[in-house]
């Protein structure tokens, strides 16, 4: 995709944004440490959330490439900071999930340390996409992450993923409840319904990402 080419962007089936599109995402690198990521002077959006919430699936759905990020039925699949380039100096970063009990102590300590460093120091981080399983809602570990984001004043957008698993009424009830919780505890955070499997919510999500990485 040519950045800023309106003709090509228009043909992009609703995932287009000025200057770049999620569909141009290409794998760049897999980092075991924050220091291995692209230059901190660039701009990126991180995809975070509990293990198995669907972070990697969301990246694949937004990019229109089912094989871009590895997904798995088993929680704990992503064990790296996986970086995808959408435009010059613009990246999406798929983070390892948290909250999976069967990860080894060494792994958990490693990622606790690296994610603490990432959220504490990463200047390139322009916004966080928090992926939540709609059936589970926001959990204590999510709130800890939200608190870190508030401290550094980084925007947050929450996807209630796997919306296809609930009837429409139940999904909307969860959306309203989560919106209320975020209003109370997370200032300007926004939230939407999403389904990676049914490709639902793509336009709304891409518009948020485009705003952050403009």
Ligand X SMILES: Nc1nc2c(ncn2[C@@H]2O[C@H](COP(=O)(O)OP(=O)(O)OP(=O)(O)O)[C@@H](O)[C@H]2O)c(=O)[nH]1
With CB under 5 A, what is the number of residues at the site for Mg ion?
A: 4
Is 75 a binding residue for ligand X by CB under 6 A? The answer is yes
Q: Are 91 and 38 in contact (CB under 8 A)?
A: yes
Q: Are 111 and 125 in contact (CB under 8 A)?
A: no
In this complex, which beta carbon is closest to Mg ion, that of residue 8 or of residue 77?
A: 77
Contacted by 127, from Mg ion, ligand X, none: CB < 5 to 8 Å by type: none
7, 35, 41, 73: residue in contact with ligand X (rule CB under 6 A): 73
Q: Are 134 and 161 in contact (CB under 8 A)?
A: yes
Using the contact rule CB under 6 A, the part of the chain among 13-21, 31-39, 162-170, 182-190 near ligand X is 162-170
How far apart are CB 88 and ligand X at their closest, in Å? 26
Is 165 a binding residue for ligand X by CB under 6 A? The answer is yes
Separation between Cα atoms, residue 90 and residue 4, nearest integer Å: 14
30, 64, 77, 87: residue in contact with ligand X (rule CB under 6 A): 77
How far apart are CB 84 and ligand X at their closest, in Å? 13
Q: Please state, in angstroms and as integers, the Cα–Cα distance from residue 119 to each residue in 9, 55, 56, 178, following that order.
A: 32, 17, 19, 23
Q: Give Cα 40 distance to the centre of its chain.
A: 18
Separation between Cα atoms, residue 157 and residue 159, nearest integer Å: 7
78, 161, 174, 178: residue in contact with Mg ion (rule CB under 5 A): 78
Both tokens of 62, joined, read: 């937004």
Is 161 a binding residue for ligand X by CB under 6 A? The answer is yes
How far apart are CB 107 and ligand X at their closest, in Å? 12
Query: Which of 156, 137, 161, 143 minimizes the C-alpha distance to 60?
Result: 161
Separation between Cα atoms, residue 186 and residue 58, nearest integer Å: 23
23, 43, 46, 55: residue in contact with ligand X (rule CB under 6 A): 55
Contacted by 73, from ligand X, Mg ion, none: CB < 5 to 8 Å by type: ligand X
DSSP 200: B
Using CB under 6 A, list all residues that contact ligand X. Answer: 49, 51-57, 71-73, 75-78, 97, 161-162, 164-165, 195-197
């Amino acid at each position: 995709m040519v950045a800023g080419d309106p003709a090509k962007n228009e043909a992009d089936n609703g995932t287009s944004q000025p200057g770049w599109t999620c569909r141009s995402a290409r794998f760049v690198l897999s980092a075991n440490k924050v220091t291995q990521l692209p230059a901190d002077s660039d701009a990126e959006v991180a995809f975070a959330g509990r293990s198995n919430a669907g972070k990697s699936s969301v990246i694949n759905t937004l990019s229109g490439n089912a094989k871009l990020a590895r997904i798995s039925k088993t929680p704990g699949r992503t064990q790296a900071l996986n970086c995808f380039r959408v435009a010059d100096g613009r990246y999406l970063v798929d983070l390892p999930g948290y909250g999976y009990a069967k990860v080894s102590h060494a792994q958990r300590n490693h990622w606790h340390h690296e994610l603490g460093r990432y959220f504490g120091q990463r200047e390139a981080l322009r916004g966080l996409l928090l992926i939540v399983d709609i059936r589970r809602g926001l959990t204590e570990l999510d709130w800890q992450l939200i608190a870190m984001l508030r401290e550094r004043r980084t925007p947050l957008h929450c996807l209630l993923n796997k919306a296809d698993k609930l009837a429409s009424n139940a999904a909307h009830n969860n959306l309203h409840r989560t919106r209320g919780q975020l209003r109370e505890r997370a200032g300007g955070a926004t939230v939407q319904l999403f389904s990676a499997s049914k490709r639902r919510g793509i336009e709304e999500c891409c518009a948020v990402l485009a705003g952050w990485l403009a």
